[in-house]
């Protein structure tokens, strides 16, 4: 749809509040109209760079008075177009709100602003003996990670953002500031607004502060890769490992196409077969015992070519390769763009879901490497399409739809970590039914003018 012209009175009021921290330059607007994958780019009318919760609340009141949409922006690493300004309006970029505000070592808690990234937070925590474990791969902002209920390679042991966000400060559409949760380990008081806000993708409010659960830095860490004769053997090894209760910190799968792309991109020499990448945390004796037990399980499924990484530099190299799998795969088809989609299923259904998906992609004729956080039943397909070929685009859309339908049939979800944004909005009714309408009613109650990230997550009004 065509966006209305920006309200000049609103921009005048915002300029009076923010001065040079309000930008309407074409370059800035273009920067905030970018998506990591196939979702169409849209530009806001202006970009604000607030420095405090008070300013965010003032901005919200101005926007509410002029019916101007508001969209939060963190690091811009989302994969489903979450932070694109569908109806124009104001993008609030939180890069200036990037501080670690407080650490409570005895309670294993940190309080942060939304613009701080996960890597920066862990750098700031390095002398405390604590760390924040949620690792989606990209160096995302903590506010964005909470908004999308992010997870990643370490979720199998430490949980997703849902488990690691204890409390939030949120500015609502009318400028009210509320706090959800607390520093306590649990609460039985009232509606769980904290859980409601985590994963709401900015449609209910703008996060301006987070209280996070920290974890102790492990005494010993060991990582490894091992190859398997086929993807089914690798996945069944994962299922058995999880079902035996082995406390794996990370366990990832790369199919043969992903391995080939990573080898070419990073000049590595992993055997050209499905690979598991894993990591163990604990005491030196505990890590050794876990590694030995996993080796026994893996060999029962035909694993070979074990390569252990005990030194920090070796582990960093291994996980850097995994985290950069997306650009590696993109580089394997020069000039291509990508549909990057994920689903999550119960661990017992993982092999069926993954094998059916692999066969579906192979039959389509599109390149579509598969990789994922299989320890919690979550995997991704990166479908490479020519940007000038509508036929390939249609094939990719069909594959992503069938992946989602397959996940739902097996008792899973249309997205385990990417979130909904624009890319998966059309699939929400299939997963949630009447509950999707209830989400829309909650949105209407908190944001009756539909100003907070409109066009996302809930039925459109």
Who contacts 210 (Cβ-Cβ below 8 Å, separation ≥6)? 111, 112, 113, 114, 142, 143, 146, 165, 167, 168, 169
Task: Count how many domains the chain has.
Answer: 4
Residue 438 falls within a domain, yes or no?
Answer: no
Residue 436 falls within a domain, yes or no?
Answer: no
* Residue range 209-225: mean pLDDT, rounded: 95
The 3-state secondary structure of the chain reads: CCCCCCCHHHHHHHHHHHHHHEECCHHHHHHCCCCCCCCCCCCCCEEECCCCHHHHHHHHHHHHHCCCCEEEECCCCCCCCCCCCCCCCEEEECCCCCCEEEEECCCCEEEECCCCEHHHHHHHCCCCCEECCCCCCCCCEHHHHHHCCCCCCCHHHHCCHHHHEEEEEEECCCCCEEEEECCCCCCCCCCCHHHHHCCCCCCCCEEEEEEEECEECCCEEEEEEEECCCHHHHHHHHHHHHHCCCCEEEEEEECHHHHHHHHHHHCCCCCCCCEEEEEEEECHHHHHHHHHHHHHHHHHCCCEEEEEECCHHHHHHHHHHHHCHHHHHHHCCCCCEEEEEEEECCHHHHHHHHHHHHHHHHHHCCCCCEEEEHHHCEEEEEEEECCCCHHHHHHHHHHHHHHHHHHHHCCCECCCCCCCCCCCHHHHHHHHCHHHHHHHHHHHHHCCCCCECCCCCCCCC
Are 204 and 228 in the same domain? no
Q: Per-residue pLDDT tens for 255-310? A: 999 999 999 999 999 999 999 999 999 999 999 999 999 999 999 999 998 888 88
Residue 397 clears pLDDT 70, i.e. is over it: yes
Are 115 and 206 in the same domain? yes
Domain closes at, from 320, 348, 383: 320
Residue 384 clears pLDDT 60, i.e. is over it: yes
The reported pLDDT for the residue numbered 4 is: 46
The reported pLDDT for the residue numbered 1 is: 33
* Residue range 393-421: mean pLDDT, rounded: 95
Residue 185 clears pLDDT 60, i.e. is over it: yes
The reported pLDDT for the residue numbered 6 is: 61
What proportion of the chain, given as a percentage, has pLDDT over 90?
85
Are 159 and 108 in the same domain? yes
- Domain coverage including residue 256: 220-320
* Residue range 405-416: mean pLDDT, rounded: 97
Are 237 and 315 in the same domain? yes
Residue 346 clears pLDDT 50, i.e. is over it: yes
The reported pLDDT for the residue numbered 435 is: 97
Are 157 and 179 in the same domain? yes
Are 357 and 271 in the same domain? no
Are 199 and 263 in the same domain? no
Domain closes at, from 162, 196, 216: 216
Residue 344 falls within a domain, yes or no?
Answer: yes
Q: How far is CA 189 from CA 167, 333, 398, in A?
A: 13, 53, 45
Q: Which of the listed ranges 56-65, 73-82, 241-250 does the model predict with the highest average pLDDT? A: 56-65
- Find the CATH number of the domain harbouring 346: 3.30.70.2740
State how beta strands 46-48 and 337-344 pair: unpaired
Cα 211 from Cα 41, distance rounded (Å):
32
Cα 264 from Cα 257, distance rounded (Å):
11
- Find the CATH number of the domain harbouring 304: 3.30.70.3450
Are 41 and 32 contacting, i.e. CB atoms less than 8 angstroms apart? Answer: no
Identify which has the larger pLDDT, 5 or 159.
159
Are 144 and 248 in the same domain? no
Domain closes at, from 55, 75, 95: 95
Task: Please state whether the predicted TM-score (pTM) of the whole model is above 0.95.
Answer: no
Are 130 and 35 in the same domain? no
Nearest to 97 by CA among 138, 158, 55, 130: 55
Per-chain mean pLDDT for the chain: 93
Are 71 and 135 in the same domain? no
Cα 293 from Cα 90, distance rounded (Å):
54
* Residue range 406-420: mean pLDDT, rounded: 95
Residue 3 falls within a domain, yes or no?
Answer: no
Q: Per-residue pLDDT tens for 102-153? A: 999 999 999 999 999 999 999 999 999 999 999 988 899 999 999 999 998 9
Q: Per-residue pLDDT tens for 307-326? A: 888 888 889 899 999 989 99
- Find the CATH number of the domain harbouring 195: 3.30.465.10
* Residue range 341-350: mean pLDDT, rounded: 94
* Residue range 415-436: mean pLDDT, rounded: 94
Residue 461 falls within a domain, yes or no?
Answer: no
Residue 2 clears pLDDT 70, i.e. is over it: no
Nearest to 381 by CA among 408, 397, 361, 356: 361
Are 66 and 127 in the same domain? no
- Find the CATH number of the domain harbouring 49: 3.30.43.10
Are 77 and 124 in the same domain? no
Cα 286 from Cα 403, distance rounded (Å):
38
Residue 65 falls within a domain, yes or no?
Answer: yes
Residue 3 clears pLDDT 70, i.e. is over it: no
The reported pLDDT for the residue numbered 246 is: 92
Residue 270 falls within a domain, yes or no?
Answer: yes
Residue 455 falls within a domain, yes or no?
Answer: no
State how beta strands 70-73 and 90-93 pair: parallel
Q: Per-residue pLDDT tens for 441-461? A: 999 999 999 999 999 999 986
């Amino acid at each position: 749809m065509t966006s209305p012209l920006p309200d000049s009175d609103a921009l005048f009021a915002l300029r009076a509040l923010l001065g040079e921290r309000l930008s309407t330059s074409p370059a800035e607007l273009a920067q905030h109209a970018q998506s990591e994958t196939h979702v169409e780019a849209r530009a806001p009318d202006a970009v604000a760079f607030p420095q405090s919760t008070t300013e965010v609340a003032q901005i919200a009141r101005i926007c509410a008075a002029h019916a101007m949409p508001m969209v939060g922006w963190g690091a811009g690493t989302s994969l489903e177009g979450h932070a694109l300004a569908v109806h124009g309006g104001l993008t609030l970029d939180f890069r200036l709100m990037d501080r670690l505000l407080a650490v409570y070592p005895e309670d294993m808690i940190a309080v942060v602003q939304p613009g701080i990234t996960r890597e920066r937070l862990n750098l700031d925590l390095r002398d405390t003996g604590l760390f924040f474990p949620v690792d989606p791969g990209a160096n995302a902002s903590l506010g964005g990670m909470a908004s999308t209920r992010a997870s990643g390679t370490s979720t199998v042991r430490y949980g997703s953002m849902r488990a690691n966000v204890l409390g939030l400060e949120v500015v609502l559409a009318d400028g009210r500031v509320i706090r959800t949760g607390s520093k306590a380990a649990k609460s039985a008081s009232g509606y769980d607004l904290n859980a409601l806000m985590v994963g709401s993708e900015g449609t209910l409010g703008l996060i301006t502060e987070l209280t996070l659960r920290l974890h102790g830095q492990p005494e010993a860490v060991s990582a490894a890769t091992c190859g398997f004769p086929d993807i089914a053997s690798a996945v069944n090894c994962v299922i058995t490992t999880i079902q035996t209760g082995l406390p794996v910190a990370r366990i990832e799968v790369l199919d043969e196409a992903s391995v080939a792309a990573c080898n070419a991109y990073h000049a590595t020499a992993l055997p050209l077969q499905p690979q598991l990448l894993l990591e163990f945390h604990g005491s030196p004796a505990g890590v050794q015992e876990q590694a030995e037990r996993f080796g026994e399980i893996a060999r029962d499924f035909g694993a070979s070519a074990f390569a252990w990484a005990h030194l920090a530099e070796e582990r960093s190299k291994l996980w850097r390769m995994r985290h950069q799998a997306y650009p590696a795969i993109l580089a394997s088809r020069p000039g291509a763009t990508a549909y990057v989609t994920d689903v999550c299923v119960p661990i017992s259904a993982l092999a069926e879901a993954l094998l059916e998906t692999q066969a579906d992609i192979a039959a389509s004729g599109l390149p579509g490497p598969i990789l994922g956080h299989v320890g919690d039943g979550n995997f991704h397909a990166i479908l490479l399409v020519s940007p000038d070929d509508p036929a390939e685009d249609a094939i990719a859309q069909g594959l992503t739809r069938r992946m989602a339908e397959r996940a739902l049939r097996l008792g899973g979800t249309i997205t385990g970590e990417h979130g909904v944004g624009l890319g998966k909005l059309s699939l929400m009714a299939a997963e949630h039914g009447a509950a999707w309408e209830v989400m829309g009613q909650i949105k209407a109650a908190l944001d009756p003018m539909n100003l907070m990230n409109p066009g996302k997550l809930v039925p459109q009004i």
